[in-house]
Amino acid sequence: MKPHVFAAVGLKKEFDDGRVQALRGVDFSIAQGEFVAITGPSGCGKTTLLQMLGALDFPSSGTLHYRGNSIPDLPEPAAYRAREIGIIFQAFNLLPTFTALENVQIPMFETDMRAAERKERAGLLLKSVGLAERRDHFPAKLSGGERQRVAIARSLANSPSVLLADEPTGNLDSENAHLILDLIIRLQREQNMTLVLVTHDSGIAQRASRVVHMKDGRIVSDLAT
């Protein structure tokens, strides 16, 4: 049996003192190297679930483990995010006062990589998402799709063992969406990276090895493709 990367049991998340129940008892496990697509209507809890996996927010109840360690009890959530996982946020979350090249280096600030090496790697990552020419631009001077690609390059900076991607190609034209998706899937295969990808696009979901469909804070189907 493959070791589990993530295991959730009875995972619930409430907001606003229980007025909003974003997750109503989610159970799943994800193995190393799996490519899982998460689909479901707007508001069903997909982003909330990714935030739990990324230790960006705490569950209200239930258990959630990463390689046997309880995520809500991690002593250093920031170190976990920097060393183990890459995150592509639905809203990019680029730092406005940093250039593209500097934004991509953010996760590497948590490592002991030398400045020159960091900069070189960031340059290569930007090249891999087709943005070599935009490296010195600030986010405000980039288009939505370009910002998205900077965010993707940044998420890959530390060669994460897990990539959490929230609609990673949602702001891209179909040509760039294909290129980026191919890049992510190639890395997932070559590096046996675990990929959890939220998407509304059924064509993208079909490229995953497993599709988890959510509705009203619950998993309503979980099927191998």
Ligand X SMILES: Nc1ncnc2c1ncn2[C@@H]1O[C@H](COP(=O)(O)OP(=O)(O)OP(=O)(O)O)[C@@H](O)[C@H]1O
Please, which residue, 89 or 123, has the CB nearer to ligand X?
89
Rounded Cα distance, 198 and 212, in Å:
9
Which of Mg ion, ligand X, none has residue 48 at its interface (CB below 5 to 8 Å by kind)?
Answer: ligand X
Tell me the per-residue interface mask from 66 to 105 with ligand X, x by CB under 6 A, - otherwise: ------------------------x---------------
Query: How much is the CA Rg of the chain, to the nearest whole Å?
Result: 17
- The answer to whether residue 17 forms part of the interface with ligand X (CB under 6 A) is no
Regarding 54 and contact with ligand X (CB under 6 A), the answer is no
160 interface partner picked from ligand X, Mg ion, none, CB below 5 to 8 A per type: none
95, HSE (Cβ side, Cα atoms, 13 Å): 11
Task: Please count the residues of the chain.
Answer: 225
Beta bridge partners of 14: 21
What is the rounded distance in angstroms from the CA atom of residue 5 to the CA atom of residue 44?
23
> What HEC string does 57-97 produce?
CCCCEEEEEECCEEHHHCCCHHHHHHHCEEEECCCCCCCCC
Q: Can residue 47 be called a binding residue for Mg ion (CB under 5 A)?
A: yes
Half-sphere exposure of 35 toward its Cβ, with a 13 Å CA cutoff? 19
Nearer of residues 13 and 118 to ligand X, judged by Cβ: 13
Name the one range near ligand X by CB under 6 A: 43-51, 67-75, 120-128, 152-160.
43-51
Touching Mg ion, residues 87-106 (CB under 5 A): 90
Can you give the binding site for Mg ion, defined by CB under 5 A? Answer: 47, 90
Q: Which residues bind ligand X (CB under 6 A)?
A: 15-16, 20, 22, 42-48, 90
